[in-house]
Structure formats: C-alpha cells, structure tokens
C-alpha cells in the first residue's frame, strides 16, 4: 500500500502547470493500491457568502 500526503496545493486556473502535475500524479497512481490524503488548502479560493468563482 502506498500512502500519498499532499498539502496546500492551491489549485487554480492561474497555475495550469500545477494542476497538470496533480492530474499526472493521479493518473500515475490510479490503478495502484494507493491512499491519498489531502491536507490543508486544495483550491486557491475563498468560498464565502460574498464570493463566487466562476470555475467552482
């Protein structure tokens, strides 16, 4: 079993290389026995009553 820990990725449209790298990581481990733990901020957005991001 492989355990992956990621933290504070801050994925956003402004950083396509980071998004692509994360997607490549997921594809690499998709058919393996892997557990992914996401810690911290995953997206670079504040989600509140007064904010809406068109990509969410």
Tens digits of per-residue pLDDT, 2-51? 999 999 888 888 899 999 999 999 999 999 999 999 998 777 666 666 66
Phi-psi map region of 40: left, alpha, beta (phi>0 left; psi -120 to 50 alpha) = left
Whole-model pTM over 0.85: no
> Which residues is 36 bridged to in the sheet?
4
Q: How many helices (H) and strands (E) does the chain have?
A: 1, 2
Quick one: which H or E segment has residue 25?
helix 16-29
Residue whose C-alpha is closest to residue 5's, from 24, 32, 25, 21? 25
Joined together, the tokens standing for residue 52 give 């809406």
């Amino acid at each position: 079993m492989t355990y992956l820990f990621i933290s504070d990725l801050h994925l956003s449209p402004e950083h396509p290389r980071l998004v692509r790298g994360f997607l490549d990581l997921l594809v690499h481990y998709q058919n393996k026995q892997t557990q992914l733990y996401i810690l911290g901020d995953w997206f670079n957005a504040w989600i509140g009553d007064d904010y809406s991001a068109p990509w969410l």
